[in-house]
Amino acid sequence: MKSANLIMMSAAMMLASCGNQDAGKTEQAIIEKSNIKIEGKRMTPEALWAMGRIGGLSVSPDGKQVAYTVAYYSIEENKSNREVFVMNVDGTDNKQITHTPFSENEVVWIKGGSKLAFLSSESGSSQLWEMNPDGTARKQLTNYDGDIEGFAFSPDEKKLLFISQVKTVKSTADKYPDLPKATGIIVNDLMYKHWDEWVTTAPHPFVADFDGTGIRNITDIMEGELYESPMKPFGGIEQLAWNNTSDKVAYTSRKKTGMAYAVSTNSDIYIYDLNTQKTVNITEGMMGYDTNPQYSPDGNSIAWLSMERDGYEADQNRLFIMNLESGEKRFVSKAFDSNVDAFCWSKDAQTIYFIGVWHAKTQIYTLNVADATIKPITEGTHDYASVALCGDKLIAKRHSMSIADEIYTVDITEGAATQITFENQHIYDQLEMARVEERWIKTTDGKQMLTWVVYPPQFDPNKKYPTLLYCQGGPQSPVSQFWSYRWNMQIMAANDYILVMPNRRGLPGFGLEWNEAISGDYGGQCMKDYLSAIDEVSKESFVDKDRLGCVGASFGGFSVYWLAGHHDKRFKAFIAHDGIFNTEMQYLETEEMWFANWDMGGAYWEKNNPVAQRTFANSPHKFVDKWDTPILCIHGEKDYRILASQGMAAFNAAVLRGVPAELLIYPDENHWVLKPQNGVLWQRTFFEWLDRWLK
C-alpha cells in the first residue's frame, strides 16, 4: 500500500507549432503556464490543476546554472506537457527554452555544459536528444528500437547507460499465432500484475558506446536475465550509477520472479565490469531492500540505501558505505533514528548530505564520513524533497502544506535557504492561505503525538467549524509537511473545514519503536491515536462536535472503514479512497505478498498465528453491523494494490445496511487519480459529500 506522492501537472491550453516538428505534428497542442484568475481568494480544484509542477533539476558543471523541468496540465484537454527551463543559480535570467508538445524529461548538462541532454517522444518513441542551453540546435542522439526511460552518461561521456523494457512473458499470440485477437492472459505464477499493469516486461540497463552523435555496440549488462533493474514501480536512473573511471556500473536488482518476487524485498547492489563482463553482488547477505548506489568522487567508496529485514518494505532506510579496496561496509547513519530518503556526496568525499524526516518535517543533514556524526543543516516547517551539490552550496526542492515544490539554494554552513523559483507565485498572490499549527497531544498510553491542525482562511475563533480527521496512508508514510494535488489541506481548509492530522503510531520520524508499532496491529493503538487527536482538538470551542468527518486513502481508507464500526457516533460523514475493507480478501488479492505477510502477520488460515488472527479479527467488514454513518467510497479499477472490489464491497454493504452511501469508481485510474478531469471530479464529489452531511 505504501505509495509515493505522485504529482501531476495542470494548466491552460494553447495551440502552437514547433519549427522542428514533422509537418503532420504542427497542430499538436502545447500546454503552457496558466493565467488563471481566482475568485474569492480561496483554493479551488481549478487553481490546483493550474499550477506548474517542478520536476527534476540539474546543475551545470561550473555550478553557475540550473536546468529543470515544469509540467503543466490542461483540464479542458485532459492531458499534460512538460517543458525545460534554464536559470542562473541565483534565480536570475530564468527562461523557458522549450515550447513543444513532446514532454521533455530528465534534462542533464553534457559536453562541459555546452549542451543539455534530455528525453523526448518527438520521433514517436522516447529517445535521447540534445540542445543548446538556450533551446536551439535541437538534435536526436539515439534511434533505439524501443523507449528509453532513463539515462546517464559515463563520466568521460564515451558511453551511455540507459533503461529500456525487455519482454519477460510470452503473449497469447506468441503461443497461439492463429488467435491474434485473443485478449486472455494465461497465468502460472504470482506477480502477474503490479500496481497498475499486467506484468509482461521488465526494465533493463543497457550500455552503449557514444561518439557524441549516436550510440553503437549496445550491451544488456544483465546478460539476458529477466529481472528488473531498476525496480518497479518507482525506480529510475537513481538506482544505477557509473564509477569514476567509466568502466563499471552499479545497479539495483531483485533477482527474483513469480512467487519468489512476491514474498521478498531482498534486492541487491550489483557491479558490472565493462572490461571483464563480470558481475559482483556487493550486498550478498544483506536481506532487505538495497537501492540507489552512488560512487564517491574520489572513487574509493560506494554508498547506498539499505533496509535490514526481508519482507519489510517500511524498515528503516539506512545509509551504508563500502570501502572498495577492503570491502568493509559501515552503517553510517546509525545516529539518525529515522529514514535516509536521498543523499549526495561532497566533492572531497568527506561528507554526505542527506534528507530525512524527523518530527514530521523533512530536513537536510550533514554526515561526517570519517566518524559518522550527523548534524542538521536546515530547520523550519517544511519538507525538502531532494538534495544536490551546487558549487559551494546545496540545491534542493522544498514544499510545505502551504506551497508546492520550488527550488532553493541552501548555505551548507548556516543552513539559510534562498528560494530561486517562483513557478506558482501568480496563483499564491491571489489566494488567502490557511494557517498550519503544530500540536502535541497525549495518547491513551501516555505518549506525546505530533498533530497538525489546519485552520480555514479568515479563521474566526468565535465561530464553530466542521472538522475533519485526516487518516494517513502508507501505512508508514509520515504526516509531514507534504503538498498533494488531491489530498490538499489548503483546499480542504478553503472549504471552511478545520483539519486534524495526527502522526499516529506507525509513522517514521519519531523513532523506530513508534514506526514499527503498527505492523500486526491495524485495529490497535494507531486507531486509539486517531481518536485521541480528534477528541482533544474537539475540546476547542471553535470545533463543532456535531459536525465531525473522517477521511483517508489507502491505509487511511482502511482506517475510515474500521472507524466506521468503532467511532461511537463521533463522526457524521466518512470518505474512504482505495481502502482495505476485507483483510482476508486483501491478503489474497494484492500482488506484493511481502507486505501482507509482514503487516498482517501472515495468512488468515494460520490458526496458531496470534498476530495474523488479531489482524483478520479486526477486518473492517466484520463490523458493518455497527455502521450508522453516511460513507463515500472511492476506488480505481486499475488499482492492483488494493482491488476495486474492496471499495465496491464496502459501498454494497452500506447500502444493504440502509446507511446513506455513494460510490465514485474510476475504470481508468490506479491507486491514485492522475487525469485532470478525474481529479476535478474527485474534488467536487469529495466536497459535495462533506457539505451534504456536515454543513
The catalytic residue positions are: 554, 639, 671
Question: Residue 322 corresponds to which cell in the numbers above?
Answer: 563500502
User: Do 420 and 91 contact (CB within 8 A), yes or no?
Assistant: yes
- Cβ atoms of residues 384 and 397 within 8 Å: yes
Which phi and psi (to 5°) does residue 620 adopt? -55, -30
CB atoms closer than 10 angstroms to residue 64: 13
CB 9 within 8 A of CB 73: yes
**DSSP codes joined into one string, 553-564:** ETHHHHHHHHHT
* DSSP assignments along 462-495, one per residue: TS-EEEEEEE--TTT---SS---SSS-HHHHHHT
What's the CA gap between 321 and 331, in Å, rounded?
7
Q: For cell 479542458, what's the residue?
A: 76
Distance, CA of 100 to CA of 79 (rounded, Å): 14
Q: What is the CA radius of gyration of the chain?
A: 25
List of residues 6+ apart from 9 with CB closer than 8 A: 51, 52, 53, 70, 71, 72, 73, 80, 81, 82
| Chain CA centroid to CA 136, Å | 33
* Angle of the 525-537 helix axis to the 555-563 helix axis, nearest 10: 70
Place of cell 533477482: 255
